[in-house]
A and B are shown apart, each in its own frame.
Chain A
Amino acid sequence: MASDVYGQLVHTSLGRQVVTGLGLPNPATLRRYEPGDPLLPGAAVVGGLGTAPLADRVGGLLRRLGIEVLDKAPDEGRIAAVVADLTEVEEPADLETLRALVGPALRRLGPSGRVVVLGRPPETASSWAQAAARRALEGVTRSVGKELRDGATATLVLVAGGLVAGGLVTGGISAERTIGGDPTVGDLVTDDGDDDGGADGDGDPVEAILRFLLSGRSAFVDGQVVRVGARSVSRPADWSAPLAGRVAVVTGAARGIGAAVTRVLARDGATVVAVDVPGAGDALARMANEVRGSALQVDVTSPDAGARIVEHARTRHGGLDVVVHNAGITRDKLLANMDPDRWGSVVDVNLGAILRMNEAILDEGGLRPGGHVVLVASIAGIAGNRGQTNYAASKAGVIGLVGAMAADEGLRARGITVNAVAPGFIETEMTARMPLATREAGRRLSSLAQGGLPRDVAETVAWLSQDANAAVTGAVVRVCGQSLLGA
């Protein structure tokens, strides 16, 4: 991992003076999740518009976790988060509620605070005014992300499905259930319609998202919009080990982001099959042993890679629940000077190999029903990047693939979710090889004014690997500190 000299420098008092003098952004130390951490380090303001059905549920969740819930910003002291339920916006004038709730709260928001706005998808609005108001939430949230300081982040969650008091229901199926024996709190129930992949449906799809967004797991996710589909989800027996009993395969696991993903999935309870090229076998073995998983030395571009992965997971660990396609390479060159080798190897490792491996992985006897596929895209695949036509082609392709797979009727019927993370600037050997100026720009041109760590991407991958999060599919979640690129 490249040492962030600038980041360390500004934490000395002399360094801070220099930085403030120059007007350079002062990167905060982000709150990152450690096992045992509370969901939030302080109180949360929770409110909303109208009956604010989700606010009730969120408030209940936070109280159960022992977090103080306030209905408006306090006059003094710090709060850790503000959650605003705007699911009932009907017209632009309703947005005043958002300003009145969130605005004052921002002044009290502590370091690495969280702003979460809950809304509904504009596409399903019943009027033009409603569509406009719903979409307006995105503009607000992204701007709040840029306004926030000190490692605080803002996210908009768009919840599909119908909402009624006491539950989240679609298609007229109303269900009143309780979570985990707590009779005072109803849960959120999404539709249990035709694309249920065997999830037992007693979970709250918004809970998994809030547990991610409010915690230190989402440290580098900022200014994003996350969509929750209408699907029932199960809930883990133990939220500190949401992947317990699951078998996960991570490609490119020997170092960088893949190594971090391996660690985080294992921490969350998964048994990890760590895959990397034979040449990286020693680092791979160390990773596999560290997490008590197993190592599989295979080049993802080899024709039998998918079959070998499936075979290994099935014979050794009894099946496969999560696949993280993380292996990736860069071979930068301006397109004007690009040779077929650089072009072909990047496209094949980053995209072609995934398509080929998926044949075996998604075949009979491969990924279990209700399983999760997570791909690793890049903001270069969204924004493009000079000298990275091949890389951007592969990563944009990954995004296209996620969309197609998530929409696939067969996969939906099996309850398989397909999502991607799109890392921004992450401190790894890949980015350590960049020219200094590009590297510095990559770090600073974001709301959080720093590079992310591999574990930030890993936390997002782990969240997308949870059964409790199965209502999220087809998402491309940027882990970029709200980078200005492609935003």
Chain B
Amino acid sequence: MGAAPRRAAILGGNRIPFARQNGAYADASEEDMLTAALDGLVARFGLAGERLGEVVAGAVVKHSRDLNLTRESVLGSALAATTPAYDVSQACATGLEATVLVANKIALGQVESGVAGGVDSASDAPITVSEDLRRILLTASRARSAGERMRALLGLRPRQLVPAVPRNAEPRTGLSMGEHMAITAARWGITREAQDELALASHRSLAAAYDRGFFDDLMTPYLGLTRDENLRTDTSLERLAALRPAFGRGEGATITAGTSTPLTDGASTVLLASDAWAAERGLPPLAYLVDAETAAVDYVHGDEGLLMAPAYAVPRLLSRAGLALEDFDLVEIHEAFAATVLATLKAWEDERFCVERLGLDGPFGTVDRSLLNVNGSSLAAGHPFAATGGRIVTSLAKMLHEKGPGSRGLVSICAAGGQGVVAILEGA
């Protein structure tokens, strides 16, 4: 830090309410949703017809035809068609990584403004054909004659027609993310009760944020939805406790549907700019993106939990910044599962983990729970993978702005593949 030539300001953002899989956005494509999120942002900041430096976004589960998803969304939006765009993908950290990328270009003076975003649809998922069928079809398409084509297609067997739907499983372990999480939860002794409490807090905090109008300038309704469809205003510890475990075995079966993020559809965007660009348009910065760090863990052979990378990334980032956990006014840890948050917090308080794995002298520190995910997080809002980063960054930037200049916020997002992206925001 300090080396950056200038700061990248977060001016605000926009997202569409998140919908449950096969809910309100069942018929919307990712391009539709990203375009809607962009258009809401453009309207909020009066950017119609403007050329921005760059739009960077992505989707985790993406149709092959959407290879230029972000650029296509820009072309369909109210932005000037001369606004360049590219796609990125880093699993659930896509949105945050896109934010870091835009911020870096701003800091280097390569662009003056940009939008970072992400979108995912669990409803409009791409269906791929089985590997056998794919080969047969490719052979048939290469055929030079009708006869050859027929011969190729004659190799078809009914079983090969069953489509392969993308699975939420790690290719190298064959375990689903929930199964991985169950192992980590058991290792850290994360109780069912603690997870239920965290999930309840998430729903309650998100509902309260809606009630006080917190999202009025962060969200634009879409397809009749004005709130996150997954939000349960009426949930309770009793209801959560009644749910059957979904992952893990025996004693270790602590993770339920209530403490895991549901499959969700949605899109989010963040507007970033240089101070000069913002001042020219009378757009007050909410916060600055100060620094970011990505870590990866070896969950395949290395005896670390799949979603534990942020536990490594944050200490590295804070050490570079010369900060401790206690220096933060707000902390946002993406609730992939309630247990993800709890295991991360526990690891940072655990002397052995911190000394042996993080190379620190003692425990890394404790997060004041009253500063954690204060407006709810993914358990309540839902988690359209690539859209989560934009949701968190924008909400945190707004909260930091309310707290005042110099206030500090931490964002932590875990991702498939054993990765984690974390960042520091400073209130403006």
- Residues of A near any B CB (own CB < 8 A): 271, 274, 278-282, 284-298, 302, 314-318
Contacts and interface: CB of A to CB of B under 8 A. Distances in A.
A288 B281 CA distance: 16
Tell me the interface secondary structure of chain B in the complex: loop
B46 A279 contact: no
Contact of A289 (B39, B215, B222, B226): B39
14 contacts: A271-B46, A278-B215, A278-B216, A278-B226, A282-B36, A289-B42, A290-B48, A291-B48, A295-B40, A296-B44, A297-B216, A297-B217, A315-B282, A316-B46
Interface string B72-98: 000000100000000000000000000
Contacts of B147: none
Given A279-B221, A281-B226, A282-B221, 15 more contacts: A278-B213, A278-B215, A278-B216, A281-B40, A282-B220, A284-B43, A285-B42, A289-B78, A292-B48, A294-B43, A296-B44, A298-B216, A316-B46, A316-B281, A317-B282
B219 interface: yes
B34 to A, nearest CB: 14
Q: How large is the interface on B (under 10, 10 to 19, 20 to 34, 35 or more residues)?
A: 20 to 34
B213 A302 contact: yes
B45 interface: yes
B59 to A, nearest CB: 21
Closest 5 CB pairs of A and B: A294-B46, A285-B43, A289-B78, A295-B43, A288-B43
Nearest to A278: B216
Nearest to B77: A289
B283 interface: yes
B365 interface: no
B281 A281 contact: no
Contacts of A292: 46, 48-49
Contacts of A297: 44, 216-217, 220
A253 to B, nearest CB: 11
B284 interface: yes
Interface in B249-297: 281-284
| Among B36, B40, B43, B49: residue with most chain A CB under 10 A | B43
Contacts of A315: 282-284
B75 to A, nearest CB: 14
Contacts of B281: 316
A316 B284 CA distance: 9
B373 to A, nearest CB: 22
Contacts, number: 73
Interface of B: 36, 39-40, 42-46, 48-49, 78, 213, 215-217, 219-222, 226, 281-284
Given A302-B213, A318-B282, A281 B45 contact: no
Contacts of B226: 278-279, 281
Contacts of A314: 282
Contacts of B45: 294
A318 B283 CA distance: 11
A276 B254 CA distance: 45
Contacts of A318: 282
Nearest to A295: B43
A288 B77 CA distance: 13
Contacts of A274: 43
Given A278-B226, A282-B36, A295 B44 contact: yes
Nearest to B16: A282
A271 B213 CA distance: 26
Nearest to A291: B48
Contacts of A285: 39-40, 42-44, 220
| Among A271, A281, A290, A314: residue with most chain B CB under 10 A | A281
A285 B35 CA distance: 12
Contacts of A282: 36, 40, 220-222
A279 B219 CA distance: 10
A293 B46 contact: yes
A399 to B, nearest CB: 31
A295 B49 CA distance: 15
Contacts of A291: 48
B340 to A, nearest CB: 31
Contacts of A317: 46, 282
Contacts of B215: 278
A271 B48 CA distance: 12
A289 B48 contact: yes
A316 B220 CA distance: 19
Nearest to B78: A289
Contacts of A284: 43, 220
A294 B220 CA distance: 13
Contacts of B216: 278, 297-298
A293 B50 CA distance: 12
Nearest to B46: A294
B33 to A, nearest CB: 12
B402 to A, nearest CB: 14
B44 A278 contact: no
Contact of B219 (A281, A288, A296, A316): A281
Contacts of A286: 39, 43
A72 B40 CA distance: 57
B302 to A, nearest CB: 47
Nearest to B44: A295
A278 B221 contact: yes
B275 to A, nearest CB: 15
| Among A280, A282, A291, A296: residue with most chain B CB under 10 A | A282
A280 to B, nearest CB: 7
Contacts of A280: 221
A287 B46 CA distance: 11
A229 to B, nearest CB: 35
